[in-house]
Structure 1
Amino acid sequence: MISSEIGKEVIKKELPLVPKLPGVYRMLNEKNDILYVGKAKNLPNRLKSYVAEKNHIIRTERMLSQTRKLEITTTSNESEALLLEANLIKKFKPKFNILLRDDKSFPFIFIGNKDKWPQIKRHRGKKSKEGFYFGPFASAGSANWTIKMIQKIFHLRVCDDTVFKNRERPCILYQIKRCSGPCVGYVEKNDYQQTVDDAIEFVSGKSRKIQKNLSNQMEKASEELDFEKAVILRDRIKALNIIQSSQRINEANLVEADVIAGYKESGKTCIQVFFYRSKQNWGNQAFFPKHDPDENLSEILNSFISQFYENKSVPSAIILSEEIKEKILIEKTLTEKEGKQISITVAKKGSKLKVVNQAIKNAKDSLNRKLYESQNNKELFDQIAKKFNLETSINLIEVYDNSHIQGTNSVGALIAYGDEGFIKKRYRKFNIKNKENEQDDYGMMREVLSRRFKRAVQEKDNSLSFPDLVMVDGGKGQYSVARESLNELGLHDIPIIAIAKGKFRNSGNETFFHNGKEFKFSKNDPTLFFLQRIRDESHRFAISAHRAKRKKGISKSLLDQIEGIGAIRKRALLNHFGSARSVESASLDEIKSVEGVEEKVAKKIYNFFHE
């Protein structure tokens, strides 16, 4: 029987001390884990509702039954409370809040305006550099597609500054007419700047104006008998026409808007966000917020919007599929945050309703795929349990693999798979600490498993919960080491499976080891394909972690070994000479000529390489 009286008593005790101000409250359990974050215009009035109401929904009853502590943070106004609430929910992920699983920023296209020869590139994160930012794009693919189109029409450079400054002849992009070759002076400064300005207007939605300008320039070049330039301009006009015919111009004529629509079924929800900028659809993204199955779609959308825009730029218009209760508050908060007027509307008729209905259809399709995949995974988990005679049901699998080259840059890797697929936030890599284990695959496996599970047994901060099944890449030996490692920590009840490739390492002939027995699958068994798939993902992750570590070691410059050479001087030297090896062969006078490198430091660099 769930009893909410404990939580109510905690709130009653704190109520006399709570100021009559707007703010945020946090409910904590006996381990000081945050159960729920809420906001209020008047904190005491909101908290009294938990005590006064007798018939709470089951979710609130469960939350109050676990509440042992209440924490309060007051704010100067309700808008500030809304932003703080969204920030805390994303930071602590309380189990009783609606949670947006959004751990990445969206890409933008950036064109710098401080460079002599501006570069176009994809950008994520803070907009710290001065220049022109266009976005957000729903995915890296959408941004890359647009950059590719801009390269086709305007021939802007994409190479970074180090490559640009050290080229003696143009790269292949010049040969295939994707770049005008500014690195080697194949284009005049004014002409290049004109194409940069045209590119900015193009992504700002003024493609018709650009087409007219290019046509005028082509005619002028023809009149002046500059046929080479005319041909280049003709090819650009052709590329622009092709892009315009395929360009995703939206019929609702949305200049700057996000369309947000949700669909809920079987206690789960998908929310689709479509990005419209410069009258173009710049892609869409599906989100699957975590929430109580009984939560209604309006509440989910309301919470989604405040969390989604907590760390993102906001367009002038947000168009929703249905009403939300805090529309006015969120509108006011986002307007103050952005310093421009933000409008939140619900599409009810016309072309905007068509766009919203399309977003709802996308949300429905995405959710159905998610539910199908989830059901499929459950069936596969059941088949694994049946095949290996496991006594427990499976909801979460962890797979372990190691990667090294002759004992160097050794890395252990952990990936996780649950009902809804790969769980990237549970992925971990382990740099092997014990030198004796670096050339010993068994020693590596023992160290990785011991470190991972010892932390969980000791219930240290941020330790992962236990999986229902552990899978290791290897044969009998790896199985024995894994079993011993878990047994030493008292984890006898977590089953382990080892997967070994066949005699000729051919996929489909794997042998599985569990509990002293060998198991095989028929080559067309879906369960075998599934186990291969998660094994291959662990292998991919281990190799990528190993390569990153090896690259980091290789990329350490000889300049890092010279005392007194910081990041700024190192960058100046590399920009001037192109590589550390070139610095090594440089004369003292050449080193002294580098900006920011005074004589004393130049001598130190020269002596380092020549003593």
Structure 2
Amino acid sequence: GRYFGPFASAGAVGRTITALQRAFLVRSCTDSFFESRTRPCLLYQIKRCSGPCTGEIDFPGYTALVREATDFLSGRSRAVKEDLARAMEQASADLAFERAALYRDRLAALSAIQSQQGINPRTVEEADVFAIHQEGGYSCVEVFFFRTGQNWGNRAYFPRAEKSFTPEEVLGAFLAQFYDDKPPPKLVLLSHRIEECELLSDALSIKAGYKVAILVPQRGEKKELVSHALTNAREALGRKLADTATQSRLLQGLAVALGLPHSPRRIEVYDNSHIQGTNAVGAMIVAGPEGFLKNQYRKFNIRSEGLTPGDDYAMMREVLERRFKRLLMQQAADPDKTDDPEKDTVQQWPDLVIIDGGLGQLNAARGILDALGLTRIPLVAVAKGPDRDAGRETLFLPDRPAIKLEPRDPVLYFIQRLRDEAHRFVIGSHRKLRKKDMREAGLQEVPGIGPARKRALLHHFGTLKEIERASVADIGKVPGISAESARRIFDFFHARPA
């Protein structure tokens, strides 16, 4: 297939796919979904798809739609609009008014797409625009992506760098890594001139197979694009600094509430997830002064053979033991490497460990840390309130009475956010693991479903994914499947993890 991109975000990709559906009626479903259809889906009914799965459009007709979509993404949007206008006029002349209305709607969708681009360069066909702004010891690099004369979105990056680095040095180091996993455009526009600009241009040209120019424009439309990107970088960094100030106040409040010696720079939160002991997984999320550090997140597949299914305490012990043994091994291998608050590097040892659970989980965690000789790491367990009500949590600490914060305390909201983020991450990890097992096992694990019923289900729905998506009523329509069996199958695929 052909590559179109890069896009600024997943949201930009989603908007582009929606635009292609409205303007060109191309399908967005998976191949397995496409092959199992016996009647058009909802997207066909709302005129977001031409229905090639059930022959609502023939192969040459759908090929023409795909070609038009490719031309549009390749920058030939004017030619595509002219062709659609001619087709609409011809359909109107032939008195085929329904067909003419379809062309009219597609033209309107194309016009809407182009009007929503925001910045539409007149002379720049393909370019990436980089602008950097520094303030308060932070750097923000704003990147705009222009392809085929269209704005494909923008994104702000906050690279970690020494506070003494100049904008040129930060931007140069950022650019050297940016195109590691993506093809460069023919033109790169910068707000600051970097060292070894010609060398980087030659390296990108060799990688791309065509000339890549790197410029710092001084006038004209290119200068306007860079100025706009610089404004965005300044505003994005302002929002980042405001968020960081709020985060600092919350960390200070957390330190006061828990009696910590200083504001934590690294908080690790742990949680487990399983369904009756199956597909058990543990997870760690990390937060600090800059918010959630998602590149530091870790998941742990629970693999102890002697573990009793559903034993949350044993799962927590395994996760913490594996995590902190690894830290101790890394420290033993490089004893000179320490966490220095003055250095702009990611701290590895936590200043606070939060466990999702009550007194039992706290004691399990404390037992592991004590056994490893890590008695100075602050530890707290967060237990949900009665009826699992948010705002009534109890905080358990070692050798201290449990505490409750006021329901409207910002620090309590902060703790809830940390706990909920850990819960979200571990639930997602559990579901991925469970879906993988279900794909590998098929219907073998569904209780009470024998070979004949499995064949009937697959014959009716086509794929395991369609069975997973089906409602209880849809499953009950399969010959040989009773209402009770339908409910059992539905519950198997939609069971909620602990």
Is 1:442 the counterpart of 2:442? The answer is no
Deviations 1:279-334 (A, max 9, x none): 11111121122221111111111222122123320111111101112111111221
| Unmatched tracts of structure 1, length 5 or more | 1-130, 562-573, 583-611
How far 1:458 sits from its partner (Å)? 2.5
The aligned counterpart of 2:385 is: 502
The aligned counterpart of 1:234 is: 104
Letter of the structure 2 residue corresponding to residue 471 of structure 1:
I
Letter of the structure 1 residue corresponding to residue 435 of structure 2:
K
How far 1:145 sits from its partner (Å)? 0.5
Match of 2:351 among 447, 456, 468: 468
The aligned counterpart of 2:406 is: 522
Q: Evaluate the alpha carbon distance shift between residue 558 and residue 241 of structure 1 in structure 2; reply closer, same or farther with a 3 A threshold.
A: closer
Q: Evaluate the alpha carbon distance shift between residue 264 and residue 398 of structure 1 in structure 2; reply closer, same or farther with a 3 A threshold.
A: same
CA distance in 2, matches of 1:387, 1:560: 51
The aligned counterpart of 1:541 is: 425
How far 1:418 sits from its partner (Å)? 1.1
Q: Higher relative CO (CA 8 A, sep ≥ 6), structure 1 or 2? A: 2
The aligned counterpart of 2:330 is: 459
CA distance in 1, matches of 2:354, 2:322: 16
CA distance in 2, matches of 1:459, 1:305: 31
How far 1:580 sits from its partner (Å)? 7.7
Find the residue that maps to 1:517 and give its secondary structure.
Answer: coil
Is 1:415 the counterpart of 2:285? The answer is yes
Letter of the structure 2 residue corresponding to residue 447 of structure 1:
E
Is 1:189 the counterpart of 2:59? The answer is yes
Deviations 1:152-205 (A, max 9, x none): 011111112222122111111100001111111111222222211111121223
Letter of the structure 1 residue corresponding to residue 45 of structure 2:
Q
CA distance in 2, matches of 1:292, 1:243: 41
The aligned counterpart of 1:482 is: 365
How far 1:369 sits from its partner (Å)? 2.0
Match of 1:338 among 205, 208, 225: 208
| Unmatched tracts of structure 2, length 5 or more | 338-346, 446-457, 467-498
Contact 1:437-1:444 within 8 A present in 2 as well: no
Contact 1:397-1:417 within 8 A present in 2 as well: yes
Match of 2:394 among 497, 508, 511: 511
Match of 2:10 among 137, 140, 154: 140
**What pairs up with 1:89-488 in 2 under 5 angstroms?**
131-251=1-121, 253-434=123-304, 435-459=306-330, 465-488=348-371
Q: Evaluate the alpha carbon distance shift between residue 558 and residue 142 of structure 1 in structure 2; reply closer, same or farther with a 3 A threshold.
A: closer
How far 1:558 sits from its partner (Å)? 5.4
Find the residue that maps to 1:518 and give its secondary structure.
Answer: coil
CA distance in 2, matches of 1:489, 1:393: 24
Q: Evaluate the alpha carbon distance shift between residue 558 and residue 152 of structure 1 in structure 2; reply closer, same or farther with a 3 A threshold.
A: closer
Is 1:554 the counterpart of 2:442? The answer is no
Contact 2:6-2:182 within 8 A present in 1 as well: no
Q: How many aligned residue pairs are there?
A: 440
Contact 1:557-1:580 within 8 A present in 2 as well: no
Q: Evaluate the alpha carbon distance shift between residue 519 and residue 319 of structure 1 in structure 2; reply closer, same or farther with a 3 A threshold.
A: same
CA distance in 2, matches of 1:380, 1:293: 24
CA distance in 1, matches of 2:465, 2:432: 23
**What pairs up with 1:52-67 in 2 under 5 angstroms?**
none
Deviations 1:393-442 (A, max 9, x none): 41110001111112221111111101111111221111212242431111
Between Structure 1 and Structure 2, whose CA radius of gyration is higher? 1
Normalization by structure 1: what TM-score?
Answer: 0.68
Contact 2:382-2:395 within 8 A present in 1 as well: yes
How far 1:378 sits from its partner (Å)? 2.2
CA distance in 1, matches of 2:259, 2:360: 21
Matched-pair identity in % = 47
CA distance in 1, matches of 2:293, 2:117: 35
Letter of the structure 2 residue corresponding to residue 510 of structure 1:
E
Pairwise CA RMSD: 2.5
CA distance in 2, matches of 1:265, 1:245: 34
The range that moved more, 513-522 or 248-257, is 248-257
The aligned counterpart of 1:21 is: none
Deviations 1:549-583 (A, max 9, x none): 1111111145999xxxxxxxxxxxx99x944899x
CA distance in 2, matches of 1:480, 1:373: 35
Contact 1:499-1:510 within 8 A present in 2 as well: yes
Letter of the structure 1 residue corresponding to residue 349 of structure 2:
F
Contact 2:36-2:463 within 8 A present in 1 as well: no
Q: Evaluate the alpha carbon distance shift between residue 581 and residue 478 of structure 1 in structure 2; reply closer, same or farther with a 3 A threshold.
A: closer
Letter of the structure 1 residue corresponding to residue 302 of structure 2:
I
Q: Evaluate the alpha carbon distance shift between residue 197 and residue 325 of structure 1 in structure 2; reply closer, same or farther with a 3 A threshold.
A: same
Deviations 1:461-520 (A, max 9, x none): 899822000000111111111111111111110010111111121111111111331111
Deviations 1:102-146 (A, max 9, x none): xxxxxxxxxxxxxxxxxxxxxxxxxxxxx3322111111111101
Kindly report structure 1 stretches of 4+ aligned residues shifted beyond 6 Å. 460-464
Q: Evaluate the alpha carbon distance shift between residue 379 and residue 579 of structure 1 in structure 2; reply closer, same or farther with a 3 A threshold.
A: closer
CA distance in 2, matches of 1:457, 1:303: 32
The aligned counterpart of 1:106 is: none
Deviations 1:241-262 (A, max 9, x none): 3323323352453210000110
Q: Evaluate the alpha carbon distance shift between residue 339 and residue 382 of structure 1 in structure 2; reply closer, same or farther with a 3 A threshold.
A: same
Q: Evaluate the alpha carbon distance shift between residue 488 and residue 165 of structure 1 in structure 2; reply closer, same or farther with a 3 A threshold.
A: same
Q: Evaluate the alpha carbon distance shift between residue 290 and residue 252 of structure 1 in structure 2; reply closer, same or farther with a 3 A threshold.
A: farther
Contact 2:32-2:463 within 8 A present in 1 as well: no
CA distance in 1, matches of 2:350, 2:263: 11
Q: Evaluate the alpha carbon distance shift between residue 265 and residue 581 of structure 1 in structure 2; reply closer, same or farther with a 3 A threshold.
A: closer
Letter of the structure 1 residue corresponding to residue 330 of structure 2:
E
The aligned counterpart of 2:453 is: none
Letter of the structure 2 residue corresponding to residue 455 of structure 1:
R
CA distance in 1, matches of 2:148, 2:359: 60
